[in-house]
Structure 1
Amino acid sequence: MFGDKKLGFGCMRLPLLDAGDPTKIDLEQTEKMVDLFLQQGFTYFDTGHPYHNGFSEKVVGTALVKRHPRDSFTIADKLPMFRQPREDELPGIFQEQLERLQTDYIDFYLLHNPHGEAYENAEKVHAFDFVRKLKEEGKVKHIGFSIHDSADHIDRILTLHPEMEFVQIQLNYIDWENEGIQAKKCYEVCQKHGKPVIVMEPVKGGTLVNLPEAAEELLKNADPNASLASWAIRYAASLDGVEMVLSGMSNLEQMEDNLSYMKDFRPFSKAEYETVGKVVGIINSSIAIPCTACQYCVKDCPKQIPIPTYFALYNAEKQDNKHAWKSQGDYYASLASRGSAASDCIKCGKCESLCPQHLPIRELLQDVAREFEG
Structure 2
Amino acid sequence: MHPEMEFVLLQINYLDWENEGVESRKCYEVACKHNKPVMVMEPLKGGFLADIPLEAEKLMKDYNPDASVISWALRFVASLDNVFMILTGASSLKQLKENIEDFENFKPLNDEEYEILDKVADIIHSNITVDCTKCKYCLDACTEEINIPKVFDLYNSEKILDPAPWTPIGNAYLNYSKLPGVGIASDCSECGMCVEECPQHIDIPEVMKDVAKTFETEYYGFVDK
Q: TM-score range by the shorter chain?
A: 0.5 to 0.7
Instruction: Supply the RMSD in Å over aligned alpha carbons.
Output: 3.1
Is contact 2:79–2:109 with CA below 8 Å preserved after alignment? yes
What residue identity is the alignment partner of 1:281?
A: D
Higher strand share: 1
TM-aligned CA deviation for residue 286 of structure 1? 2.1
Map 1:168-183 → 2, pairs under 5 A: 168-183=9-24
Distance 1:250 1:210, change over 3 A: same
Q: Secondary structure at the match of 1:175?
A: coil
What is the aligned counterpart of 1:195 among 36, 41, 60? Answer: 36
Is contact 1:180–1:331 with CA below 8 Å preserved after alignment? no
Measured in 2, the distance between the counterparts of 1:183 and 1:331 equals 22
What is the aligned counterpart of 1:316 among 124, 131, 135? Answer: 131
The residue that corresponds to 1:186 in the other structure is: 27
Q: Secondary structure at the match of 2:3?
A: coil
Measured in 1, the distance between the counterparts of 2:3 and 2:53 equals 42
The residue that corresponds to 1:278 in the other structure is: 119
What residue identity is the alignment partner of 2:83?
A: V
What residue identity is the alignment partner of 1:244?
A: M
TM-aligned CA deviation for residue 366 of structure 1? 5.7
Map 1:328-367 → 2, pairs under 5 A: 332-333=195-196, 367=206
What residue identity is the alignment partner of 2:206?
A: D
TM-score, length of structure 2 as denominator length = 0.61
The residue that corresponds to 1:130 in the other structure is: none
Measured in 2, the distance between the counterparts of 1:331 and 1:191 equals 32
Measured in 2, the distance between the counterparts of 1:217 and 1:332 equals 35
Measured in 2, the distance between the counterparts of 1:167 and 1:235 equals 18
What residue identity is the alignment partner of 2:114?
A: Y
Measured in 1, the distance between the counterparts of 2:193 and 2:63 equals 35
TM-score, length of structure 1 as denominator length = 0.38
Unpaired stretches in structure 2, ≥5 consecutive residues: 139-148, 150-191, 211-225
Unpaired stretches in structure 1, ≥5 consecutive residues: 1-158, 289-314, 336-340, 343-363
TM-aligned CA deviation for residue 330 of structure 1? 9.9
Map 1:258-277 → 2, pairs under 5 A: 258-277=99-118
What is the aligned counterpart of 1:256 among 94, 97, 104? Answer: 97
The residue that corresponds to 1:220 in the other structure is: 61
The residue that corresponds to 2:176 in the other structure is: none
Q: Secondary structure at the match of 2:76?
A: helix
The residue that corresponds to 2:4 in the other structure is: 163
Q: Show structure 1 runs of 4+ deviating over 6 A.
A: 328-331
Measured in 1, the distance between the counterparts of 2:106 and 2:40 equals 16
Q: Secondary structure at the match of 1:244?
A: strand
1:43-71 Cα distance to aligned partner (Å, 9 max, x none): xxxxxxxxxxxxxxxxxxxxxxxxxxxxx
Map 1:48-197 → 2, pairs under 5 A: 159=1, 161-197=2-38
Measured in 2, the distance between the counterparts of 1:253 and 1:279 equals 26
Q: Secondary structure at the match of 2:15?
A: coil
Q: Percent identity?
A: 46
1:321-368 Cα distance to aligned partner (Å, 9 max, x none): x55447x99995279xxxxx99xxxxxxxxxxxxxxxxxxxxx89615
Is contact 1:175–1:181 with CA below 8 Å preserved after alignment? yes
Is contact 1:203–1:209 with CA below 8 Å preserved after alignment? yes
Measured in 2, the distance between the counterparts of 1:330 and 1:190 equals 30
Measured in 2, the distance between the counterparts of 1:194 and 1:330 equals 35
Is contact 2:194–2:204 with CA below 8 Å preserved after alignment? no
Give the length in aligned residue pairs.
Answer: 157
What residue identity is the alignment partner of 1:225?
A: D
Q: Secondary structure at the match of 2:87?
A: strand
Distance 1:365 1:245, change over 3 A: closer
